[in-house]
Amino acid sequence: MSNGRGLVIGTAVVLVVLAVAAYFVTRETELPPLARGGTLTVASALGGSDGGMEGYARAFEPREFHFPEDHGPHPEFRTEWWYWTGNLETADGRAFGYQFTLFRNALSPTESQRDSAWGARQVYLGHFTVTDVAAGRFHVAERYSRAALGLAGASTQPFKVWLESWEATSAGASMWPVRLRAQGEEVTLELLLEPGKPPVLEGERGLSQKSAEPGNASYYYSMTRMPSRGTVKVEGQTYAVTGESWMDREWSTSALGPDQVGWDWFSLQLSDGSELMYYQLRKKDGSVDPFSSGTWVPPVGAADSASVHLTRDDVELSVLGTWKSPRGGEYPSRWRLRVAKLGLELTVTPKLADQELPVSVRYWEGTVTLEGARAGQPVRGRGYVELTGYADTHATTRRPETRARGTPETRGGK
């Protein structure tokens, strides 16, 4: 997110959940407040005042990125994530959305000797969702494990990130294509992803600053339009699909500022071949944080091929409707997004209202459609939106579920 998804992805969803996961899979860390019967907020989970950053590398200044090496792990940092979302469809137009995320979190900055083969310094978490638009159903799965006995891990050559049977791997002798595999109770995804456009460095040459504190930042890049093909199996029926994916990669040690409570993050692929990433950080008093920002990526073959950095002042984001979660909390559910210097105005609408993940920390992430205009020409498109800080951040006692959707409950209008 020039602070980009660095907040959105490695956020409370990572640090809160992995604090719990670390305890349950290793029994070697202090029981987190959440498991002791307390609550853990986004701000407390990501605050930088707990001394937990000592011994880890931090992101203080821009660095040189090297590919394919930087697709692999960076264990000197406390946390990182591999984050894929995408929109897929069958030959006859049946639409699916998916999210596949693998998070790594370090329990300590250095290796230590352990007598048990189960001992591990790293813990991995995975989230997997499929939105079946035609059926109005949202499938959710979560799992986590220590990086011991081959249960989870990451490597650079060959590229591989895995969590039990969930994995992202190089499918050939080189990096590309990358194969994604994940399974839930009623759904299985297997995709081959090509790189599409080159990696886009977010923020200042890949340094994603999250607040005013030096080092409170991440290294962050995106691959914004990856041709994708494969299969989605839903409730016993297998569908051949093609489409486009978006990958975010981020690694960091730092955390949210003390007055930041959540964010709205957009990854949008426009029909004119351009892409837009924008994240809006929210403060405790309800105002928009000045570190909110984004990136616009021009179409292939554009006269000026350079990405355009967007500041908070460049983007106007208005909420047009809301959705009440039956699990508690109320989310924005339709938006108008304007970027005057690009001549861009979009209306962004969820394909399903309820794409909330009732996992260890609840958040909303789902597929959206968009329509509007850029530089006086009509555009359409699709993408993904992530919303955090709107629901209670305590761990749910329910297992991830598949849910049928009725008519979305919204308020407001165009």
- How far is the C-alpha of 63 from the C-alpha of 41, rounded, in Å? 31
CA-to-CA separations, 228 to 55, 87, 88, 147, 192, in angstroms, rounded: 39, 9, 8, 29, 6
Residues whose CB falls within 8 Å of the CB of residue 8, separated by 6 or more in sequence, listed in order? 1, 263, 265, 279, 386, 388
Number of domains in the chain: 1
Residue 412 belongs to some domain of the structure: no
Contact 162, 169 (CB under 8 A): yes
C-alpha triplet 337, 338, 344: angle, nearest 5°: 115
> In terms of residue numbers, what domain contains 382?
4-404
CATH number at residue 377: 2.40.370.10
Domain membership of residue 13 (yes or no) is: yes
Q: Residue 97 in contact with residue 12, Cβ under 8 Å?
A: no
**Other Cβ atoms closer than 10 A to 72:** 20
Return the number of other C-beta atoms located less than 10 Å from residue 185's C-beta: 12
Per the listing, tokens 């029994």 go with 27
- 360 in any annotated domain: yes
Contact indicator for 171, 177 with CB cutoff of 8 Å: yes
Query: Model's pTM, two decimal places?
Result: 0.86
Sign of CA dihedral 34, 39, 41, 46: negative
pLDDT truncated to tens, each residue of the chain (414 aa)?
Answer: 334 443 444 444 445 445 555 544 444 444 333 333 333 343 444 444 445 678 899 989 999 999 999 999 999 999 999 999 999 999 999 999 999 999 999 888 877 666 677 777 889 999 999 999 999 999 999 999 988 889 999 999 899 999 999 999 999 888 999 999 999 999 999 999 999 999 999 989 989 887 778 777 889 999 999 999 999 999 899 999 999 999 999 998 875 677 778 889 999 999 999 999 999 988 888 888 888 889 999 999 888 889 999 999 999 999 999 999 999 999 999 999 999 999 999 999 999 999 999 998 889 999 999 999 999 999 999 999 999 988 854 433 334 444 443 333 333 332
SS3 for 94-123 is CEEEEEEEEEEEECCCCCCCCCCCCCCCEE
Q: Is residue 413 part of a domain?
A: no
Answer yes or no: is 176 within a domain: yes
- DSSP label at 411? B
In a domain, 202, yes or no: yes
Q: 42-58 burial, b for 16+ CB within 10 Å, e for fewer?
A: bbbbbbbeeeebeebbb
